[in-house]
Amino acid sequence: MDAAEYAIGELARRTGTKVETIRWYERNQLMPQPARTAGGRRVYRRVHLDRLAFIRHARELGFPLDDVRALLRLTDVPEHSCAEADRIARAHLAAVRGRITRLQALEAELARMVADCGQGRVADCRVIEVLADHSHANCLHPEGHGGPEA
């Protein structure tokens, strides 16, 4: 077993995570509380490094914090079925694919808007015209609105 100890700054450096983010993860119970020295300094071990790396990777893949929390709970019981982890990953994949679809529609709409702009006067500008059209009649999106933030 690795008995190495890390100060919070070293843990941050090794994982590419800000110190304040590590503290936030601790406060929000994503990270176990580290031991403390007599002087109150946090002492992290390999388990903290591994858990933080897991969190970072899950976040880089776009998993919401609630899903990360659920996945972490699953890692605490390794003999259980991975069906729940699979369900979480499949739901996240579906959400990502939905965002990609909306972004592709947004890209097409913006490309059309820019292509139709003659770069003449603002009064004749297609970009301004499309953005000013509150009916969304010029939108390619199926609902006529509701870009990626919807």
Instruction: Yes or no: say if 140 and 108 are a contact pair by the CB < 8 Å rule.
Output: yes
Q: Taking phi first (over 0 means left), then psi (-120 to 50 degrees means alpha), and beta for anything else, what does residue 101 get?
A: alpha
Q: Does the pLDDT value for residue 97 go beyond 80? A: yes
Give the three-state DSSP class for 65: helix
Q: Which residue has the higher pLDDT, 125 or 150?
A: 125
pLDDT band for position 142 (cuts 50, 70, 90): low
What confidence tens digit (pLDDT) does each residue in 3-62 have?
799 999 999 999 999 999 999 999 999 999 999 989 989 999 999 999 999 999 999 999
- Which phi and psi (to 5°) does residue 40 adopt? 90, 0
Q: Which of 108, 114, 60, 58 is nearest to 88 (CA)?
A: 58
pLDDT band for position 71 (cuts 50, 70, 90): very high
% of the chain beyond a pLDDT of 90: 64
pLDDT for position 136: 63
For range 99-127, the mean pLDDT:
83
Task: In whole angstroms, give the CA distance from residue 130 to residue 147.
Answer: 14
> Identity (one letter) of the amino acid at 13?
R
